[in-house]
Amino acid sequence: MKRVLVLLTTLFLGALSCAVSGNRTGEGELEFTQAAQVDSLVARELEPGGPGCAVAIFIDDAIAFEHGYGIANLDYGIPITPATVFDIASISKQFTAACILILAERGKLSLNDDIRRFIPEFPDYGSKIEIRHLIHHTSGIRDWVWLLVLAGIPFENILSREDLYDLISRQKELVFAPGEEYKYSNSGYNLLTLIIERVTGVSFADFVAKEIFGPLGMKNTLIFDDRRMVIKNRAIGYTPDEEDGYYMEHYFNPAISGSSNIHTTVEDLFLWDQNFYHNKVGPGGLAAKMEERGRLNSGDTIDYAFGLEVREHRGLKTVSHEGDWGGFLSCMLRFPEQKFTVVCLANTQAFSPKRLCYSIADLCLAQRYEQEVPSGQQERPIDQTPVMVDPSVYDDFAGVYEADNGRKIEVKRKNDRLMGRLPGRRKFEMLPGSESDFFLKGRNVSISFHRNERGEVSRLDWQQGERKISYRNTAFNGPSVQNTGKLAEYAGNYYCDELMATYNVAVERGGLVLKTPIKSRYLMDLIGITGSDLLRPLEKDKYRFAFISVLFKRNTRGKVSGFTLIQDRAGLRMKFAKN
């Protein structure tokens, strides 16, 4: 695989060159960084022979480093190169926001406009939802991602845009009043796409191609709005299975333009990155406009700007966004004052492009940081040798353990080894440091199992560096005494008209079981929902499983008449009526 390097011989103060020839230091320049050091950072993240990523570093007006790692298509063994086309998922949002700014400059709309001026059929929630609310995720409109999950519609289904808009518009409540809070919602950016099309009279794909992709020369960038579309050099998305293989987790779903669905390369993203400095397309002062952070009704400023997040890292301003969809993860991290950008586009969920981008930035910009980069910032593996234990003790540890945030760890005995698995990740071996304490090879992780007063394994503690998380054994999630006669009052079918979905509550396995229509294998694995989950009692009429709480409602006669399904992460409170 050929590494493409553009060796910069003349750089402004603080510039970086990733050169194979080694380190150089010139007067007024930082020490040059070898491309091999970047290669090493990537190699630590990827598994040999599997999917991978394309990485690029932009310095001033040039691509200082670009390289492909891993396989773009496992069926045919096609390698990833800098010309490989990836689904960049939510990094797409900044292009949608730029289109809105173009139309605002031309007087076609105002950021303060009520969205019902352009979408009159949208529900009237009693409060004005402005275009800027959609841009900054302060509209309170429910995110369709969780609505699809809870409605039992798999991500891999082929949805029309009409299906998506109908689901969004069917919601009877907002998560909060417009402008009161920040809550990330893909729905807002899909509605921005509809506004752009109604204002311009052309498709969103045609408008963004004419206004941005074409003028910038982004010849390998497009909006995936037709599932039949042929995309040259396209990567396929993957997630790791439990062992050492992969599942294809590539969604050919064209309905989500605006919030996602841009396919591009790291080389084309360089052309877009340059536009923030040279403003070839878009209104004057585009970078400043797109970096203008949202403001709540309280006057507080949030980090989210126009499809971009504006923050600081070690004293330097950063402008970034991540993408996460199906088998793709991506990150584009820019340090505007240093004219330094690092991009990682991955076709696997097996590692974090965000973590990699920040590691590369720490490697390249350490001398520019206002805050020192600790020499021990990379996690140090525990230097420990496994001890001999009787493998029969592993049977006691087998089970599913759940943290307070709903995240789960599955522990199993496999022959004479103790194996663990986090949702959506590979199995890993727990090496014994004692009969109850274990560690992971090459990782700064220790795991301790704890027993209750009856000698049963009731908890494990996961210690990673200074961070400690406790997981309870779900075998002990139920109440100590079950009264199935009392539980029977909860049993029955419950219907939510906003989701057009029926959930069933049954008395099984010594407790209440919630049977849902959730079918998305990816989300079920990632968040630990099985479709038939034992509800853990929290208090009277309130139960929980994974990331979801269920609060039962009673009528004036004290009979169970429905429940509210609460998903805190998305701010959802979905009401179900008992049939």
DSSP structure string for 392-410 = GGHHHH-EEEE-TTS-EEE
Give the pLDDT confidence score for residue 31 in this predicted structure: 42
| Higher pLDDT, residue 204 or 381 | 204
The Cα 131–Cα 113 span in angstroms is 6
Share of the chain above pLDDT 90, in %: 71
Protein fold of 1-149+159-170+186-374: Beta-lactamase (3.40.710)
The H or E element spanning position 317 is strand 316-325
The mean per-residue pLDDT over the stretch 37-42 comes to 93
Q: How many angstroms separate the Cα of 208 from the Cα of each of 191, 217, 497, 563?
A: 15, 12, 36, 44
The H or E element spanning position 97 is helix 93-105
Ramachandran category for residue 507: left, alpha or beta (phi over 0 → left; psi -120 to 50 → alpha):
beta
Max mean pLDDT among 143-152, 250-259, 469-478 falls in 143-152
Q: How many angstroms separate the Cα of 451 from the Cα of each of 228, 405, 454?
A: 56, 22, 7
| Higher pLDDT, residue 183 or 7 | 183
Amino acid at residue number 395? D
The mean per-residue pLDDT over the stretch 181-191 comes to 97
Least confident range from 120-129, 189-198, 437-446, 550-559: namely 437-446
Average pLDDT, the chain: 88
Residue 536 has pLDDT above 90, yes or no: no
Q: What does the H/E/C string look like for 64-76? A: EEEEEECEEECCC
Find residue 140's DSSP bridge partners: none
Residue 490 has pLDDT above 50, yes or no: yes
Identify the DSSP state of 225: -
Extract the runs of DSSP E, i.e. beta strands, from 112-261: 222-223, 238-240, 246-248
**Paired sense of beta strands 511-515 and 532-534, if any:** antiparallel
The mean per-residue pLDDT over the stretch 28-36 comes to 52
Give the pLDDT confidence score for residue 3 in this predicted structure: 36
**Residue 128: helix, strand or coil by DSSP?**
coil
Cβ atoms of residues 55 and 361 within 8 Å: no
Give the pLDDT confidence score for residue 419 in this predicted structure: 94
Domain 484-578 in the same topology as domain 391-476: yes
Share of the chain above pLDDT 70, in %: 88
Find residue 574's DSSP bridge partners: 565
- Residue 151, both tokens: 């409605």
Residue 26 has pLDDT above 50, yes or no: no
Least confident range from 121-135, 266-280, 334-348, 401-415: namely 401-415
CATH of domain 391-476: 2.40.128.50
Q: What does the H/E/C string look like for 344-362? A: EEECECCCCHHHHHHHHHH
Reported confidence tier of residue 528, pLDDT bands at 50, 70, 90 = low
- Residue 517, both tokens: 């229509």
The mean per-residue pLDDT over the stretch 568-577 comes to 94
CATH of domain 484-578: 2.40.128.50
Residue 464 has pLDDT above 90, yes or no: no
- In the chain, the largest separation of any two C-alpha atoms, in whole Å, equals 83
| Higher pLDDT, residue 443 or 363 | 363
Give the pLDDT confidence score for residue 261 in this predicted structure: 93
The mean per-residue pLDDT over the stretch 52-56 comes to 98
Summarised one tens digit per residue, pLDDT across range 246-289 is: 989 888 888 889 999 999 999 999 999 999 999 999 999 999 99
Amino acid at residue number 423? P
Report domain extents, the chain.
1-149+159-170+186-374, 391-476, 484-578
The Cα 518–Cα 530 span in angstroms is 8
Summarised one tens digit per residue, pLDDT across range 208-233 is: 999 999 999 999 999 999 888 999 99
Q: Which residue has the tokens 């990379």?
A: 378
Identify the DSSP state of 27: T
Give the pLDDT confidence score for residue 376 in this predicted structure: 47
The mean per-residue pLDDT over the stretch 392-399 comes to 94
| Residue closest to 336 by CA, chosen among 352, 307, 313, 353 | 313
Residue 11 has pLDDT above 70, yes or no: no
Residue 102 has pLDDT above 60, yes or no: yes
The mean per-residue pLDDT over the stretch 428-436 comes to 94
Give the pLDDT confidence score for residue 309 in this predicted structure: 98
Residue 131 has pLDDT above 70, yes or no: yes
Least confident range from 161-165, 356-360, 495-499, 531-535: namely 531-535
- Residue 474, both tokens: 């779900």
Give the pLDDT confidence score for residue 485 in this predicted structure: 64
Give the pLDDT confidence score for residue 442 in this predicted structure: 76
The Cα 193–Cα 96 span in angstroms is 7
Q: Nearest 10 degrees: CA dihedral of 288, 293, 295, 299?
A: -80
Summarised one tens digit per residue, pLDDT across range 150-175 is: 999 888 888 889 999 999 999 999 99
| Residue closest to 308 by CA, chosen among 130, 137, 108, 58 | 137
Calculate Rg over the CA atoms of the chain. 26
Max mean pLDDT among 141-155, 289-303, 352-366, 412-426 falls in 289-303
The mean per-residue pLDDT over the stretch 130-143 comes to 98
What is the model's pTM? 0.87
Amino acid at residue number 117? R
